[in-house]
Structure 1
Amino acid sequence: MMKWIPVALALTLSACGSGPKTAYYQLPTVTPSTAVSSSTLARPLWVERVTVPDYLAGSGVVYQSNDVQYVIATNNQWASPLDQQLQQTLVSNLSATLPQVLISSTPLGQQHDTLKVDVSGFHGRYDGHAVVSGEWVLEHNGELFKQPFVIALPQKDDGYDALVRTLAAGWQQVADQVANAMIANGK
């Protein structure tokens, strides 16, 4: 019986010594404030790509700890690549806002508009804000419409859960900007 005490003690200590568990995050789809309906918005939209810089392309959620330093979390990670999540969520958010428009992440035949989004910031910040920044380009009937965006929303709570929810709300604002531009330009 005494032979097993060291083994049991070693197993107990190794179980206690394991590091923090890794949490995985998926962007939620935020319900738009209003859906827009218009018979003039019938042309399909291809969300061609959403690009992110290298520091956001990894699996860790990013937090800016001061004016020059960024920390990439090791235990708080994206469940799937961030660029894919951003594209899928953008398609979903735009589809909810513009229900009469066919919006897809794949090409839709010969006649479609194209949206490209370059994200430069998608992270938490030391002052308690979530930052969503970059620019989007909408191609409609051979014309290009380009719009930068910089959104800094205050987090309501502390922690990564609240950060991801706030980032999703900022991403919904980008979808709203795109939808409004499509309507204004007579998509």
Structure 2
Amino acid sequence: MRWYLRRRIKKIHSRRERNNEKWLLAAAVCVLTACSSGGESKTYYQLPVVQGGAQSAASQGARLLWVEQVSIPDYLAGNGVVYQTTDVQYVIANNNLWASPLDQQLRTTLVANLSQQLPGWVVSSQPLGSEQDTLNVAVNGFHGRYDGRVIVSGEWLLKHQGQLIKRPFNIVLRQEQDGYDAMVKTLAQAWSQEAAAIASELNRLP
């Protein structure tokens, strides 16, 4: 009888140990799963805006430019920063997001850059009057790429004294560092370069 009782007690202890091991293993899996699925924080990005001097629409002889719209395609219109992984594939980041709609950021920074680079002009995102020139920009590419470069491409259309002037653009710049922070800064640099190109065209207008 004593031998039987000792055997039963050993079996009970053995079952408890196995159950404890299973519970610990399950707990460890739950912890690891929680860390990998919900532990990443979100990062938000805003394109830097250059600070320029104040402009007045009442200035004598000032030329007027209305930046009517900067449009973007659907794949750029979400919250996530876009990265091109192959020649034909793009991914939209889940945790690296634009702090405000990208088309608004592009328009705001374009107005600021043009204001700085066009002395003698009043540049605004609001209509300025019947004598204004009107600029519309269609951005088709604004993303990082698998080869360490960023792409800013599209075309702009200017209405000037009843005439239409249309120009395509395609700017490719290399990132100096890895990561989304460097990518966004390089994208902003490319966008600033295109603003300078637009300003150069405007300065040549009669």
User: Which TM-score band applies after superposition, normalised by the shorter structure?
Assistant: 0.7 to 0.9
TM superposition score normalised by structure 1: 0.84
Match of 1:57 in 2: 77
Quick check: 1:51–1:119 contact (8 Å CA) kept in 2? yes
Letter in 1 for 2:160: H
Match of 1:108 in 2: 128
Match of 1:183 in 2: 203
Partner SS, residue 86 of structure 2: coil
Match of 1:134 in 2: 154
Q: 1:30, 1:111 → 2: CA distance?
A: 27
Quick check: 1:23–1:77 contact (8 Å CA) kept in 2? yes
Quick check: 2:139–2:152 contact (8 Å CA) kept in 1? yes
Pick from 78, 84, 103 the counterpart of residue 104 of structure 2: 84
Quick check: 1:30–1:169 contact (8 Å CA) kept in 2? no
TM superposition score normalised by structure 2: 0.77
Quick check: 1:117–1:134 contact (8 Å CA) kept in 2? yes
Q: Give the CA deviation at 1:43.
A: 1.5
Change (3 A) 1:128 1:30: farther
Quick check: 1:115–1:137 contact (8 Å CA) kept in 2? yes
1:137-152 to 2 correspondence within 5 Å?
137-152=157-172
Match of 1:24 in 2: 44
Between Structure 1 and Structure 2, how many residues are aligned? 171
* Identity percentage of aligned residues: 59
Work out which of the two has the higher radius of gyration on C-alpha atoms and give 1 or 2.
Answer: 2
Name stretches of at least 5 consecutive residues in structure 1 with no aligned partner: 1-8, 33-40
Higher RCO structure (Cα 8 Å, ≥6 apart): 1
Match of 2:23 in 1: none
RMSD: 2.4
Q: 2:133, 2:145 → 1: CA distance?
A: 34
More helix by share: 2
Q: 1:173, 1:31 → 2: CA distance?
A: 16
Quick check: 2:137–2:156 contact (8 Å CA) kept in 1? yes
Change (3 A) 1:115 1:148: same
Pick from 124, 127, 140 the counterpart of residue 120 of structure 1: 140
Letter in 2 for 1:75: N
Spell out structure 1 runs of 4+ moving beyond 6 A.
Answer: none
Letter in 2 for 1:147: R
